[in-house]
A = this chain, B = another copy of it.
């Protein structure tokens, strides 16, 4: 519903959407951003990069954004992935360090700063500004290697998020969004995960991302996780067994009684489901992922 989507995407989004071409985008930012009140030392490249990230942060990835990428040397059909974290010291220093390391590997990257706001969207001013890097893959250096190498530029006591590798402006936007949602979700993970992975991959926080409105996470929970439980068809007992087991809080006996089979049958089915779907209902964290996926899947397929 437009009213809702507008208000949730925010005024910045509405403003950006409404600019009719990318040159207007470049101008509009200057007209509104206080970053540019002192224009000494600002290059055209700096401004283009600032505007580009403003678009990506606001879920924009249209042709104008593709133009901005081209201007910044990311030609059509480029591949990239995002890494986001909190700066070790200053954001400016982190960005310089990251750009230098990636350049040493022979690659290119774009960096920006982004405050990580609370759930209400309000910036609580507690200095939670993240640094986001958009990196083009370089030779044999995997995202993991790059991520480990630039890790010292980030605060060691806070999470780092590594986004998936994707193609084009739309893919870049989704990778950036996934890392931002991950940083936002990280404090919640302690509720069910026994330790916080580092780097945090975007799949590590699916239920939390869904809770705060990340559509990509919702889609993945429905398509991938719920889909894996129903892949073997309506006669397969996987979904029923897993959901009954979870509904009774992980009690094999109650689940067996409810389904009128022997507990060993439940045990066997859960083991087989864990092998085939990759999600183990007897692990508390994965149980939470499964409960969330089943809830979303049932709502999505309700008749």
Chain A residues close to B by CB (< 8 Å): 1-12, 14-15, 17-32, 37-45, 47-48, 50-51, 54-55, 57-60, 62-64, 67, 70-73, 75-77, 99, 103, 108, 113-115, 118-120, 123-126, 128-129, 168, 184-188, 190-194, 207-208, 210-213, 218, 222, 243, 246-250, 282-285, 287-288, 291-292, 294-296, 298-303
Tell me whether A20 and B6 are in contact (CB under 8 A). Answer: yes
**With A43-B38, A187-B299 in contact, do A77 and B20 touch (Cβ < 8 Å)?**
no
- A66 CB, min distance to chain B CBs, angstroms: 9
* Bound Cα distance from A74 to B151, whole angstroms: 28
Tell me whether B22 and A44 are in contact (CB under 8 A). Answer: yes
Tell me whether A128 and B5 are in contact (CB under 8 A). Answer: no
Tell me whether B23 and A22 are in contact (CB under 8 A). Answer: yes
- A294 CB, min distance to chain B CBs, angstroms: 4
A292 contacts which chain B residues (CB < 8 A)?
A: 211
Partner of A47, one of B45, B126, B247: B45
A38 contacts which chain B residues (CB < 8 A)?
A: 43, 45
Tell me whether B118 and A211 are in contact (CB under 8 A). Answer: no
**With A71-B51, A76-B123 in contact, do A207 and B23 touch (Cβ < 8 Å)?**
no
- A226 CB, min distance to chain B CBs, angstroms: 10
Residue of B nearest to A119 (CB): B300
**With A9-B15, A250-B249, A291-B288 in contact, do A191 and B298 touch (Cβ < 8 Å)?**
yes
A47 contacts which chain B residues (CB < 8 A)?
A: 22, 25, 44-45, 71
**With A71-B54, A295-B211 in contact, do A6 and B7 touch (Cβ < 8 Å)?**
yes
**With A28-B18, A291-B288 in contact, do A63 and B208 touch (Cβ < 8 Å)?**
no
Residue of B nearest to A186 (CB): B302
A26 contacts which chain B residues (CB < 8 A)?
A: 19, 22, 44
Partner of A29, one of B32, B45, B55, B119: B45
**With A23-B60, A124-B303, A129-B76 in contact, do A222 and B119 touch (Cβ < 8 Å)?**
yes
* Bound Cα distance from A170 to B25, whole angstroms: 21
Tell me whether B15 and A4 are in contact (CB under 8 A). Answer: no
Partner of A58, one of B22, B72, B168: B22
Tell me whether A21 and B60 are in contact (CB under 8 A). Answer: yes
* Bound Cα distance from A128 to B71, whole angstroms: 20
